[in-house]
Amino acid sequence: MLAVLSPGQGAQKPGFLTPWLDLPGAEARLRWWSALAGVDLVHLGTAADADEIKDTARTQPLLVAAALLAAAHLPMHDVAVTAGHSVGELGAAALAGVVSAETAIALAGVRGREMAAACALEPTAMAAVLGGDADEVLAALDTHGLAPANRNGAGQIVAAGSLDGLDKLAAEPPTKARVVRLKVAGAFHTLYMAPAEATLGAVAAGIVPADPQRILLSNLDGTAVGHGREVVRRLVRQVTSPVRWDLCMRALADLGVTGIIELPPAGTLAGLIKRELKESGVPELVTLNTPKDLPAARDLIARHGTAHGATHAHPPAARLRVVVAPAAGAFAPAEGLVEGEPLRTGQVIGHITTGQGPVQVTAHDSGLLTEWFAHHDDPVAPGQPLARIGGQH
């Protein structure tokens, strides 16, 4: 089974898109996307310096554009899983077929501008806490009024909040941990970003999404999201919610992913995966940074992709109108819920027992429960169909 990953803010490097503009149509596509994003993506990806491309308003659409530009040269129909880190989720959603590339770019432009504006309202920042016991680190953050904005696994938790709180954390780091201040504009993925979430939500309300055509993992909790409206809701909510990349990596392992391609600017997510999954087995990795890496990426897809029997990828929910498993574990239907009964949108129809605790399974639409695909204590994988919803009642 093969996964394609889209990186988030901080992975960018000056000039990293330069070699991609030699490909036919690449520059024209970037200029079209620039009009949608409200920034000059050609300049940012080729001539801009490090200071210019760390501006949140510019960086976010640039990263989404880079991922989608490179993915256009891959046989994505053979990819079973997509996921993205932070703003990379917009790219992953486009690759999963939930939104168009143009919609993802436009949303990234709004997201970047609004998060930059939110950062300007009050001085805040972020710092990486490397090492230490995770529970002790989280307790220390709470003591200083900070939030765990990113839980990246591999012994890395990113703290976000007030400058005073971060200074106190650095002065009194948790046992066996070190604190490294990050060069970012403010406290992303915290309640400081609430104004940005509100504006992005207002814009996203006009989107008509499709259901994912491949397994799409969510930063919110590492689960597979089977329905387009829920994907968009989570993309908006993620502006103020922590990035649980640690849970996304566990989901990749639970799914049995054997090959991973990280889209440009690649390397950050591959490094986390190598450290986090070293005991359970690191999938074969390709970091796609220039067109010269495309043959290796295509070869990985040829050996691990769906067209070659390397996956048990499940049919898209859009075709079957099914409720799918959000996580791996043992499924238990809601007590007394039988085939033929009416369901309402948001109704809990069961839960999945995972290593991190129970995960609720809810109906994404109203209708009749026409068929169970999974039964009590059945082992299930993320994206696996659990129940079919029939016509409206």
Contact 202, 239 (CB under 8 A): no
Contact 161, 145 (CB under 8 A): yes
Segment 73-77 long-range contacts (CB within 8 Å, at least 24 positions apart): 73/23, 73/291, 73/294, 74/4, 74/261, 74/294, 74/297, 74/298, 74/301, 75/298, 75/301, 75/305, 75/307, 76/4, 77/306, 77/307
Distance CA(329)–CA(351), nearest Å, equals 9
Q: Is 189 a catalytic residue?
A: yes
Contact 81, 252 (CB under 8 A): yes
Contact 389, 321 (CB under 8 A): yes
Element housing 36 (H / E): helix 26-37
Instruction: Measure CA 137 to chain center.
Output: 24
**Strand, coil or helix: what is 220?**
coil
Of the residues 6, 34, 85, 86, which is catalytic?
A: 86
Contact 21, 294 (CB under 8 A): no
Strands 378-380 and 348-354: unpaired
Q: Is 144 a catalytic residue?
A: no
In 3D, which of 362, 365, 369, 373 has the Cα closest to residue 338?
369
Q: How far is CA 355 from CA 134, 200, 250, 342, 358, in A?
A: 17, 33, 10, 31, 8
Of the residues 6, 34, 85, 189, which is catalytic?
A: 189
**360 CB-side CA count, 13 A:** 7
DSSP β-bridge partners for residue 323? 387
Q: How far is CA 310 from CA 139, 174, 256, in A?
A: 42, 43, 10
Residues annotated as catalytic (active site), given as ranges = 86, 189
